Amino acid sequence: MQTFDFDLFVIGGGSGGVRAARMAAQRGARVALAEAGAMGGTCVNVGCIPKKLYSYAAHYAESFEESHGFGWVGTAPQLDWELLKANRAREISRLNGVYLQLLDSAGVQTLRGWATLLDAHAIDVAGQRYTAQNILIATGGAPTIPDVPGRELVVTSDDMFDLNPFPKRLLVVGGGYIACEFASIFNGLGAQVTQVHRRDKLLTGFDDDVRRFLASEMSKTGVKLQLGAEVAAITQTAEGLRVDLKDGSQGPFVVDTVLYATGRRPNTRGLGLEDAGVAVNAHGAIEVNERYQSSVASLYALGDVTARLQLTPVALGEAMVVVDQLFGPAAGKAPRSMSYDFIPTAVFTHPNIGTVGYSEAEAREKFASISVYRSDFKALRHTLSNSTERTLMKLLVDDASDRVVGLHMVGPDAGEIVQGFAVAMKAGATKAVFDSTIGIHPTAAEEFVTMREPVKSPT
């Protein structure tokens, strides 16, 4: 029988890779993990965590302003960008250490360096050859910049956390969640932000009401939205970066920084996939079956490199499934499976979006008849804050089963609120259950259990 150095070799120390390596080692497997960059991957270093920290920082601006209505007087403090960056860097490096420690204490051998597949059971890391019975590819993804004249002058989301100096004038290109979040965050931190998107609405794939409502709320906060517009070229001038749009009647803009947040690609280049015979799709993502097994039986892949739902909790969930399949479930537990239905998600724009289930357009396609409940209101806090911010809440109900199949919110703490409702929806909660639930008063969230009348003519 062939012997291998390891039972499992994980390539990539991000959300999915670290979780899989740790859990497999805890089941008694001999595990190695190779990471070429900082431990923790995208989420920890240039994604969810630093972004949320900056989003918190940005929210202070509106809090200072709103505090006047509540009797607080005096001038607002100023942002010290260098201090924010330093504090973020310190916290991220603490997390890098925590990840390493978790792997060490689980007994995972960590290898630093770029890993390349040599064949179905062999990997090279920094000139050293290792063998493993199973290999898990969890190499994530990276931002892409389209072929626009001046592309060498622009930055991606990876660069936004350490910009030097702070961009007083920022142009964000893109309309997905990453573009919207950075537009909101830098607007809150004090930049003049213009966001250019080639479609007529932000956030393709989200509920249309949410898309419209968010655009209106973001505009109120000061983000200048240019929808239906495309960048023609970026040029360096003495005053800054000049951005010309294809439609010459809009722009040009002169800004300090241009962020392109128009797409990401799976990290499959230079991985040796061809040598190992692993099939990728037209977008370069590794194709896997429902067991996360690639076209080569000993090679598994999960997370962003498979380019499905690109979220940290999804990569974590997939990792648990792979480990259960390869090494058995935890003692006394059934093997996990991964369901992609009713995955809640948040967008940390200002205000936040929280959403779970179908959009109205999707629900209309999927179900014969649906009822739509919608509420758009001014939160209690804003009766004194002077802010014109409004909150949107929306429920979609399948008439045949009375099940709530879509729940959407745009408003403060939407992510925090929607997480709890996602449990109810996963459990199949009906509108009758929502109606019989007593609200928590006074909160914004109670609106979700007090919407009695469906909208007459759905929008």
Give the residues lining the site for ligand FAD (CB under 6 A): 11-17, 34-37, 41-43, 47-48, 51, 114-115, 138-140, 157, 178, 267, 271, 303-305, 310-313, 315
| Smallest distance, ligand FAD to C-beta of residue 23, A | 13
| Smallest distance, ligand FAD to C-beta of residue 393, A | 21
User: Is 441 labeled as catalytic in the residue annotation?
Assistant: yes
**What is the Cα–Cα distance from 22 to 342, expressed in whole angstroms?**
27
| Between 22 and 374, CB nearer to ligand FAD | 22
| Between 325 and 345, CB nearer to ligand FAD | 345
| Smallest distance, ligand FAD to C-beta of residue 236, A | 26
Find the catalytic residue in 283, 382, 408, 441. Answer: 441
Residues 134, 326 contacting (CB under 8 angstroms): yes
| Between 273 and 372, CB nearer to ligand FAD | 273
**Residue whose Cβ sits closest to ligand FAD:** 14
Q: What is the 3-state secondary structure (H, E, C) of the chain?
A: CCCCCEEEEEECCCHHHHHHHHHHHHCCCCEEEEECCCCCHHHHHHCHHHHHHHHHHHHHHHHHHHHHHHCCCCCCCCCCHHHHHHHHHHHHHHHHHHHHHHHHHHCCEEEECCEEEEECCEEEECCEEEEEEEEEECCCEEECCCCCCCHHHCECHHHHHHCCCCCCEEEEECCCHHHHHHHHHHHHHCCEEEEEECCCCCCCCCCHHHHHHHHHHHHHHCCEEEECCCEEEEEEECCEEEEEECCCCCCCEEECEEEECCCEEECCCCCCHHHHCCCECCCCCECCCCCCECCCCCEEECHHHHCCCCCHHHHHHHHHHHHHHHHCCCCCCCCCCCCCCCCCEEECCCCCEEEEECCHHHHHHHCCCEEEEEEEECCCCHHHHCCCCCEEEEEEEECCCCEEEEEEEECCCHHHHHHHHHHHHHCCCEHHHHHHCCCCCCCCHHHHHCCCCCCCCCC
| Smallest distance, ligand FAD to C-beta of residue 305, A | 6
| Smallest distance, ligand FAD to C-beta of residue 18, A | 8
Q: Which two tokens stand for residue 339?
A: 């369901």
| Smallest distance, ligand FAD to C-beta of residue 426, A | 17
Residues 118, 9 contacting (CB under 8 angstroms): no
| Between 144 and 443, CB nearer to ligand FAD | 144
| Between 37 and 222, CB nearer to ligand FAD | 37
Location of structure tokens 């004038």: 169
Query: What sign results for the dihedral spanned by CA atoms 160, 166, 172, 176?
Result: positive
| Between 12 and 251, CB nearer to ligand FAD | 12
| Smallest distance, ligand FAD to C-beta of residue 35, A | 5
| Smallest distance, ligand FAD to C-beta of residue 402, A | 30
Instruction: Give the HSE-up count for residue 183: Cα atoms under 13 Å, Cβ half-sphere.
Output: 35
| Between 139 and 187, CB nearer to ligand FAD | 139
| Between 150 and 313, CB nearer to ligand FAD | 313
* Catalytic positions: 441
